[in-house]
Chains A and B, each alone.
Chain A
Amino acid sequence: MTALVGAAAGGAAPGTPPDVEPVAEPVAGRRRRRWTPYLLLLPGGIWLVVFFVLPSVQLLATSLYDRGGSLETGYQQAFAFYNYVDAVTEYWPHLVRSAVYAGIATIICLILGYPLAYAIAQKAGRWRNLMLVCVIAPFFTTFLVRTLAWKSILSDNGPLVEFLRSLPLIGNDFRLLATPAAVVCGLVYNFLPFMVLPLFASLDRLDGRLLEASRDLYAKPTATFRKVTLPLSMPGVIAGTLLTFIPAAGDYINAELLGTPNQYMIGNVIDSAFLVRLDYPQAAALSFLLMATILVMVFSYVRAAGTEEVV
């Protein structure tokens, strides 16, 4: 569309390709241009390679060390692929639990986040900026402090649990804190903005005229939603689910503060393997497993959904 307008305004003769450069640049200028992107990328690129790629490679190497060593005696590179077998057989419940909790949290975030994003993008009118600020606002209170506040809300002596206990069919020993529900609730709460923001971005771009057209053609609201709104907001749905699921799957703060060891996720195991048990090869194997699983899921999901524009 823009290209069409541009070509028309430029008055290009029919048949001329629109992006021919009118004046040839001097050779020195062109050579400089060719190097500019690399120069611009250099400092940040070095940072990413030294502090991200290199540690990842080293993580892979560490995960194959012989587990008999220690930090003092040093490790032997043994290409010990059985570290992975050990890690999975020992901790598969935590891996499954992470996937299940993060999956449920992502679905709830989608169900809660979609109406909110839709309301802000299409219904809020002059209140939209304020509502958008309100979505980001919780970020400004330290996330540990907010999660600890959930501990107060879900506490056995808190008004919420007391109210629920007073309801029929709910026993007196009912509790929320230290249950899977509390952990999922914390995950939903902490990662909801990551779902709402990309959804908002794609719903905001939705052309209101398309919805009108659909209504004019006698589509019921549900049909308009199913056939127009939802397909057009798919990029937002994909970006949102990824941005929610990835951090939720690796999180261990919610399980630690709102759950018990029975709710521990893979993040708790990695954390204690690295910082408490000092079992570096196993910790590295678990980390690498988590990262590889997530990357495989991300790429197959993106491919299945058929978009390249996630970032």
Chain B
Amino acid sequence: MYRVWRWVADHWVMVIGLLVLAYLFLPIVVVFLLSVNRATSRLSYDLSDQWTLDYWLHPFGAAGIADALRLSIGIALVATLVATVLGTLMAFALARHRFRGRGSTNVLIFLPMATPEVVMGSSLLALFVTLQVPLGFWTVVVAHILFCLSFVVVTVKARLAGLDPRLQEAAMDLYADEWSTFRKVTLPLVLPGIAAAAMLSLSLSFDDFIITNFNSGTSVTFPMYVWGAAQRGIPRQVNVIGTAVFLLAFVIVLAVQIRGRRQAKALGVA
């Protein structure tokens, strides 16, 4: 017992850190518990004492849930693709070139991140209504690209800023032209940053509710399905999807991390 206290006293920062992590994970544990617990009534958020695997065996048993999920994935893929391409181009311009208007471009990219989602969603809705654009898949995609763009620029720019410029100088010194320097040196080095930006956009887009709620018209994305269901009594399958998406993403990220570490070890970096 004394040794335990000793360890806690020596590592109190770590202990607090782990407690905070536990706080972050608490709701995820509850989501999992709800997914294997039989609901007593549709409007109940409490755990009953009956446990079941039914919801996991029939995740799409609730009406509309599969369509909502499909729509969300489609929107997230299109928005991520466009935002990653546009954002990476902008990041290159900002990190690699000095030009007039650089400062104001930085402000223009920062502003969407400093704008509350209600404001961004509502002003876009006002624009679409004025232009009489029918609300639906494409208006949601446009909105998602908008808020993902700034995050992509910031992420890729940070990666570019951390690159050693001497690597490219070396390539140029070895008579590589600009294009092959870019293709063989710069791009492979920036790729992890671009991948991180794409992952970020994917999760931001998949998760967004507020901006989507303003601009989706009658289309129902997964978060909107959850919102609608929360008003009328929520099907427990929602928790199955929540847990499954979490596990999938967690495994992918861990695999990438382990592979990165193995590569670093092979190169003798770590």
Contact = CB atoms under 8 A, between A and B. Distances in A.
Contacts, number: 256
Contacts of B25: 134, 137-138
A189 B21 CA distance: 11
A247 B93 contact: no
B226 A267 contact: no
Given A40-B93, A123-B11, A137 B246 contact: yes
A290 B117 CA distance: 11
A112 B23 contact: yes
A112 B20 contact: yes
A142 B206 contact: yes
Interface residues of A, number: 90
A38 B115 CA distance: 25
A250 B117 contact: yes
Given A55-B123, A116-B16, A158-B46, A192 B24 contact: yes
Interface string B236-263: 0011011101101110011001000100
B193 to A, nearest CB: 14
Interface residues of B, number: 89
Contacts of B207: 139, 142-143
Nearest to B245: A140
Interface string A286-306: 011011001100100000000
A49 to B, nearest CB: 8
Contacts of A71: 129
Nearest to A115: B16
Contacts of B8: none
Contacts of A223: none
A137 B17 contact: no
Given A137-B250, A142-B206, A271-B118, A54 B127 contact: yes
Interface of B: 11, 13-14, 16-18, 20-21, 23-28, 30-31, 34, 45-47, 86-87, 89-90, 92-94, 96-97, 99, 102, 105-106, 108-120, 122-127, 129-130, 142-143, 145-146, 149, 153-154, 166, 203, 206-207, 209-210, 213-214, 222-223, 226-227, 230, 234, 238-239, 241-243, 245-246, 248-250, 253-254, 257, 261
The 10 closest A-B pairs by CB, nearest first: A250-B116, A119-B17, A40-B93, A55-B123, A37-B97, A140-B249, A149-B27, A44-B86, A145-B242, A37-B93
